[in-house]
Amino acid sequence: MSSKERPTLGGTRIKTRKRNIAAPLDPASFADAVVQIYLDNAGDLELVAKSIEASDLDFSRYGDTFFEVAFTGGRTQPGTTKPDEGERHPYSIIECEPKRELILPSVIYIQKILRRRPFLIKNLENVMRRFLQSLELFEENERKKLAIFTALAFSQKLSGLPPETVFQPMLKDNLVSKGLVLSFLTDFFKEYLIDNTLDDLIAILKRGKVEENLLDFFPINKRSAEAFSEHFTKEGLVALVEYNEKKVSEVKLREMKSTLTTQIAEAADIAEVIESAKQQVKDAKLLDTEVVRMLWDVIMDAVQWSGKNQQQNANSALRQVKTWAGLLNAFCTSGKLQLELMYQVQTQCYEDTKLMKLFPELVRSLYDKDVLDEDTIHHWFRRGSNTKGRQTFVKALEPFVKWLEEAEEED
C-alpha cells in the first residue's frame, strides 16, 4: 500500500508576531530632567509645577524617583536615603530650614502634582514608607523636617498619605529602641496641634490603628504610663497626657468591671469582693465617681429580668440591691459619691422603661441599707442637677421625702 504525501500550500509566508520589547528603565535621566526643572526655575515651586505639567516626562514609570527628587534633591541609592550619582538641586524639603513656613509650600506643591496626576499617590506612599523605615539614616535635623512635613500634610489633608502609611512603618524594634520614633512623633504632635485640635489628632491616630497602643512607640525601658506623662508634659503636650490618662483609666475600669461581673455571677463572698475591688481601685488610681457609676451598672447587669412581668423585675432588682448594698456602701463614702450614685440610678431608670416606675423603691432600698443618707436624698430632691426624667422622679419620690421629713420632726 503506497503512502500518500500530505498536501502543502506552496508559496505561503507565515508571519510571526513581534513581541513587545520594553524600553529599559532609566530613572537617572528622569531624575536629571526633574532636577533641571527645579534649577531652571530657581526653586520657585509654582513655576516648577507648571513646567512639570507641560513636560512629557514619564511619571507613570518613575513616580518614586520624582518624590525622591522632591524630598532629597535627587535620586537616592536603592535601599537607603543616601544620595546617588547624578544632578541635584538645593530646593528640596531636606535642604530647607526646619520651619513650617518654609516646608508648607512643598506640601501645597505636592498636593497640586497629585491632583493633576492622581496615579502618583501610590508612589508617594512608597517613598514615605521607605523614609520612615529608615529614620536612623537621617540626621536629627532632617528627621524634624520630615515630621513637620508629615504634620502639615495631614493638616492640609494631603491625598495619598493615609495615617497607616506614617505610623505603621515606624513600629520597628531598632527604631523604637533608639528613641527615634518617639522623637519623630513628638515633633509631629507639636506641629500638628498648632492648627488642629486634640480630637483631630486622635482621629488620625485611630485611622492609623495606633490610638490604643501609643506606648509601643516608647523604648521598652520607658514603656509605662508614668514615662508617657513625664515625657509629653515636659514637651508641653498636657492635653495629650490627660487624654491618655483617661484612656488608661477606661481600660482599667473595664478590667475591674469584668472581674466584678464574674464575682457577682458566681455569688462570691461580699467581703472578698470588696477587698478585691478596693485593691484594684488603688492600683489603677481610678476616680471614685467612675467606680461608683460602674458598680451600680455591674449590679444591675446581673439582675435576671423576666420580660414583661413588671413585678418580677421589680422584685429581682430590689433583691439584687439588698444583696450587694454592702459593696456600694464601701465606696459611697461621702455625700458627693452618694449623690453620684443617685444620678446613676436616675439615669438608668430614665433610659430603661422597665425600671421607670422603680426609682422610688430603689432609693428607699438604698436608704434602708445605709448606702444613701437623708441629706443626700434631700439635696437631690431640691437641687439635683441631672435633668433626665427629673420632674417625673421628683413627683414619684415626694411621698418618701415627706415621710423622711415627718420622721425627723418626730425625732
339: CATH: 1.25.40.180
Rg, Å, the chain Cα set: 34
* Total domain count, the chain: 2
The domain boundary, picked from 171, 192, 212, lies at 212
- Whether 182 maps to a domain, the answer reads yes
Identify the residue whose cell numbers are 451598672: 297
**Same-domain check for residues 188 and 333:** no
- For the stretch 169-208, pLDDT in tens is 899 999 999 999 999 999 999 999 999 999 999 999 999 9
Q: In this structure, is the dihedral angle defined by the CA atoms of residues 91, 94, 97 and 98, taken in order, positive or negative? A: positive
- Per the domain annotation, does 163 fall within a domain? yes
DSSP letter (8 states) at residue 267:
T
Range of the domain at 406: 306-410
Same-domain status, 319 and 201: no
Does one domain contain both 74 and 186? yes
Residue 126 lies in a domain: yes
Q: What is the mean pLDDT of residues 124-137?
A: 92
Higher pLDDT: 352 or 86? It is 352
Taking only the tens place, the pLDDT of each residue in 364-394 is 999 999 999 999 999 999 998 899 999 999 9
Separation between Cα atoms, residue 276 and residue 329, nearest integer Å: 15
- 4 pLDDT tier (thresholds 50, 70, 90): low
Which of 187, 212, 237 is the endpoint of a domain?
212
In-domain check, residue 147 = yes
Of all residues in the chain, what percent carry a pLDDT higher than 70? 91
Q: How confident is the model at residue 351 (pLDDT cuts 50, 70, 90)?
A: very high
For residue 311, what are the CA distances in angstroms to 221, 305, 394? 57, 10, 22
Q: Are residues 182 and 55 part of one domain?
A: yes
Residue 278 has pLDDT above 90, yes or no: yes
* Structural element, H or E, at residue 408: helix 390-410
Higher pLDDT, 8 or 283: 283
Residue 394: per-residue pLDDT: 94
How far is Cα 372 from Cα 370, in angstroms, rounded to an integer?
6
Domain end, chosen from 156, 178, 212, is at 212
Domain assignment present for residue 4? The answer is no
Quote the percentage of the chain above a pLDDT of 90: 73
Confidence of residue 6 (pLDDT cuts 50, 70, 90): low
At 118, list the grid cell: 492622581
Q: Are residues 197 and 323 in the same domain?
A: no
Identify the bridge partners of residue 83 per DSSP, sorted by sequence position: 76
For residue 222, is it within any domain? no
Instruction: Supply the DSSP symbol for 216.
Output: G
The pLDDT, as a whole number, for residue 5 is 57
Number of CB atoms found within 10 A of residue 110's CB: 26
- Residue 84 pLDDT: 61
